[in-house]
Structure 1
Amino acid sequence: MQLSLEDHINKVLFKADLLNTCCVANDAYDEYHYIAANLHSYIEYNDYTICKEMLEDILCSSLSSGEDDDVSDVVLSDFVSLASLASVINDLEKYLTEHFPK
């Protein structure tokens, strides 16, 4: 059974645990659901493509704690390993190429 795009994104983010939430250890499969849903919308809107900036924007938004926070104040590298981020991007690019060929 093939996962939907949004479920695949959630699975990739869950396994990578980019924000170090300990979701894998706690079996919190829904930890990245909101981020996956937003990323799915971005990807659909952008004709099933993804770029590093897209994921970074969504992760930064999720790190801001409320309306008063300025997303530009969030330094993603303080929270996320660049190698892990690259691994997630590569996985999603591969999935999109295989399932949504141009």
Structure 2
Amino acid sequence: MITRKEVERVAKLARIGISKKEEEKFARELSLILDYVKKLKEVDISKTLPTSHSIEIENVTREDHVQISKKLGRAGKEKIAEKLLKLAPETKDSYLKVKSIL
């Protein structure tokens, strides 16, 4: 159990001002946290293997690859790219030119 005196001492060390009401509140809350930690320490984990991740999850992303639309074909795609480039305020070669953000 954390006492008000301990909370007051920690507050002084941290150089924060807290009221008597807050001292009582923090003493209760910190005591509850320590009780919970005590319960966690009682859990038997002797048969649990160490892991680097708590949940076994696999990467489900796929490799990116370029595909030309079957409906448009390469020529149709190039026409769309040209139209989009014409709409851009600034371009260089076949790229959009944007302001640096870093």
Q: TM-score range by the shorter chain?
A: under 0.3
Q: So what's the TM-score if we normalise by structure 1? A: 0.25
| Larger fraction in helix | 1
Q: Relative contact order, CA 8 A, sep 6+: which one is greater?
A: 1
